[in-house]
Amino acid sequence: MTIDPVTLSQIVDVKSRIGTNADASGTNTLFARLAQIAAYVDQVEGYTDTLETLLGLTGDAASGTGSVMARLAQLNSVLGTVNTNASSANTTIGTVNTNVNTANTNISSTNTRIGANTDAAGTSTIFARLAQIYSSISGISGNYAIGASNTAQESYLPLQTLVPASSTQATLIAKLVPKGKGDLVVEAEVKAPSGGNIILGVFQGIGSNLELSASGSLDWSLPIGTILNSVPGGLNYTPSSSASFVVVSKNVRIIEKMPIYVYAWSGTGNAGGQVQNIKLKYDVVG
């Protein structure tokens, strides 16, 4: 059989491209390329073996220098210890918190029982009891020192109306006792009768007014609203002719702990004047 030159040339070219299984790895022939791929595969297998060694197995014992699995086992063991310690710490902290809360409750209860130095006299707290004792002692000796201020300590608030249409008769408006001696403000709201004026007065039985006869026969047994047959010789305020309520006040020096009598009358002899909200205003300063 005769092969034509062209076909023979093509067969030779194909054989040249296929090469032989002895060809070195490369890209010139098919066998060379296969040898190249086989070399890559061997290299990859080597890397895989190294990775398998580094990764290790799930059963590897915990170690700080072994495989990844050994290191993970070590970390897992450490985390278990940390969790155990954290749980123990939380339990301890819980106990501490309970003890702190109990202490706070006890301290709060103690503080409540002690009270504050502003507590009013009474029996609810230690400070209140001390204030009560001090008040009793001071009340017996009458040695409170008081100073005029804006603090209302005693008051008589009901509205009082002057009954007598006379300039020589007064109406007893209030009876108040201060806590001590010193200065205080006697304040009230007054409203003049129609067509006339109203005068407020304060009396305390001391000095030239020591005798009851000089006070228009004032004494503690008289009820509020009593008509006095004469105007007491006390400290009188400036007459007011205001047809609506106005505040009047005077600073008064108290040299004895005795009742204060507040009275009012009309200097023009008109009935119907009114007084309300009488207050003794002072601070206890010693």
In tens, the pLDDT along 35-64 reads 788 778 878 787 787 777 777 787 778 787
Identity of the residue numbered 189 = E
Q: Does some domain include residue 63?
A: no
Q: Give the predicted TM-score (pTM) of the model.
A: 0.51
For the domain that residue 171 is a member of, what is the CATH number? 2.60.120
101-153 pLDDT, tens digit per residue, is 888 888 888 888 888 888 888 888 888 888 777 766 655 555 689 999 999 99
Q: Provide the pLDDT for residue 1.
A: 63
Q: 162 and 44, same structural domain?
A: no
Residues 40 and 154 in one domain: no
* Domain-terminating residue out of 55, 73, 92: 55
Q: Within a domain: residue 67?
A: no
Burial 232-257 (b: 16+ CB within 10 A, else e): bebebbebbeeeebeebebebebeeb
**Among 44-53, 194-203, 234-243, whose mean pLDDT is lowest?**
44-53
Q: Considering the domain boundaries, does residue 42 fall inside one? A: yes
CA 170 to chain centre: 52
Q: Are residues 47 and 157 in the same domain?
A: no
107 within a domain of the structure (yes/no) = no
The answer on 277 and 172 residing in a single domain is yes
Residue 113 lies inside a defined structural domain of this protein: no
pLDDT digits (tens, 9 = 90+) for 252-274: 888 887 888 999 989 998 989 99
pLDDT of residue 214: 43
Q: Quick check: is 114 in a domain?
A: no
Q: What is the pLDDT of residue 243?
A: 93
Q: Does 274 lie in the same domain as 159?
A: yes
Q: Mean pLDDT over all residues of the chain? A: 83
Residues 6 or more apart whose CB falls under 8 angstroms from that of 115 comprise 124, 125, 126, 127, 128
**Domain annotation covers residue 28:** yes
Residue 140: per-residue pLDDT = 53
- Provide the pLDDT for residue 142: 55
Q: What percent of the chain has pLDDT over 70?
A: 92
Q: Worst-scoring range by mean pLDDT, 1-5, 68-72, 237-241, 277-281?
A: 1-5
Residue 90 lies in a domain: no
Number of domains into which the chain is organized: 2
At residue 209, does pLDDT exceed 70?
Answer: no
According to the model, what pLDDT value does residue 213 have?
A: 42
Q: Which domain holds residue 18?
A: 5-55
In tens, the pLDDT along 154-173 reads 999 999 888 788 888 999 99
Listed range (9-13, 115-119, 205-209) with the worst mean pLDDT: 205-209
